[in-house]
Amino acid sequence: MTVTSFEEFVAALQEIQSRGYIETHRAGNTGIGKTLEDELGIKENNIPGPDAAGIELKSTRRSSNNLTTLFTKEPPRENRVLWNQDLVRELGYEDSKGRQALKSTIGTGEPNSRGFLLDYDTDSVEVVHEDYGTCAVYPLTLLRDVFERKLPALILVIADVETRNDREYFWYNEAYYLDGFDSDEFLQLMRDGEITLDLRMHIKDNGNIRNRGTAWRIMDDNKLDRAFEVRKPLLEEDVDIEFDRPVQEQLDAFDSEENDE
């Protein structure tokens, strides 16, 4: 089976759902995606067809609890009170290699073991230290822009899993077309402890900073759909999807990487 348009893709996905459990085509974590793409006749991780070009296809096990990086992004330079070298030197620690480092997963609520937490209002998210105070501020408008560039549109397919004779079988029975950024739900996911921020920095021998990218991550990719403004189910009758943004804009956004210092 090879699909050549978005309409054919949806019909093919519905046909796959009707077949029930399908034996994995590859052992391991990537089996779920490989199996679905094979069944759809997709050789690359973009759904083919003029209407759907640039839309990423993502599949996940319903009970996977997979940690997924949404995007990496540093706060705007004008919103950095204490960041990079200064942050690591002031609030970091000596790691196992004898370097001054700061690797920390930060969420809302109580400060973590390094004293960091995320604070927020309707306009921004702050990286706060219990002793120092505000270290940096992310405007929600920035998070929206980066989110929509990194994930311009997404097809999320969720599967139930059975194991038979040490082989996985997938029933792809839930799917959504996702687009846009829902700031309210993004903040709610933060409050729920689902979205966190990872600092990943250390000072190199020459005194310069090594920043692997400050990562916004979701703890369970089954909840990824909640962060999108548009959420339309695909495994129902009379699916009608309108693409609000030009195809080329989606392609450009899909190819871009956001990770600056």
Residue 55, SS3?
Answer: coil
pLDDT at 193 over 60: yes
Distance CA(11)–CA(260), nearest Å, equals: 40
pLDDT at 4 over 90: no
Across residues 48-75, what is the average pLDDT? 77
pTM over 0.75: yes
Are 147 and 138 contacting, i.e. CB atoms less than 8 angstroms apart? no
pLDDT at 48 over 90: no
Distance CA(64)–CA(198), nearest Å, equals: 21
pLDDT tens digits, 152-169: 888 999 999 999 999 999
Distance CA(261)–CA(257), nearest Å, equals: 13
Residue 99, SS3?
Answer: coil
Beta strand 124-129 with 133-139: parallel, antiparallel or unpaired? antiparallel
Question: What is the Cβ-side half-sphere exposure of residue 181, based on CA atoms within 13 angstroms?
Answer: 17
Give the model's confidence band at 150: pLDDT under 50 very low, under 70 low, under 90 confident, else very high: confident
Give the model's confidence band at 251: pLDDT under 50 very low, under 70 low, under 90 confident, else very high: very low
Q: What is the DSSP letter of 222?
A: G
Question: What is the Cβ-side half-sphere exposure of residue 1, based on CA atoms within 13 angstroms?
Answer: 16
Longest dimension (CA), the chain: 61
pLDDT at 246 over 50: no
pLDDT at 2 over 70: no
pLDDT at 151 over 60: yes
Predicted local distance difference test score (pLDDT) of residue 65: 72
pLDDT: is 215 or 258 the higher one?
Answer: 215
Tokens of 45: 């991780």
CB neighbours of 133 closer than 8 A, spacing ≥ 6?
81
The CA angle 154-159-164, to the nearest 5 degrees, is 150
pLDDT at 259 over 60: no
Instruction: State what percent of residues in the chain have pLDDT above 70.
Output: 85
Give the position of tokens 């966190």.
196
Distance CA(70)–CA(194), nearest Å, equals: 12
Distance CA(155)–CA(231), nearest Å, equals: 10
pLDDT at 50 over 70: no
3-state helix, strand and coil shares in percent for the chain, rounded to the nearest 5: 25, 35, 40
The CA angle 172-169-45, to the nearest 5 degrees, is 55
Residue 143, SS3?
Answer: helix
Which run of H or E residues covers position 175? Answer: strand 167-179
Give the position of tokens 């949404």.
70
Give the position of tokens 């893709």.
9
Compute the chain's Rg from CA coordinates.
Answer: 21
Question: What is the Cβ-side half-sphere exposure of residue 254, based on CA atoms within 13 angstroms?
Answer: 19
Give the model's confidence band at 72: pLDDT under 50 very low, under 70 low, under 90 confident, else very high: very high
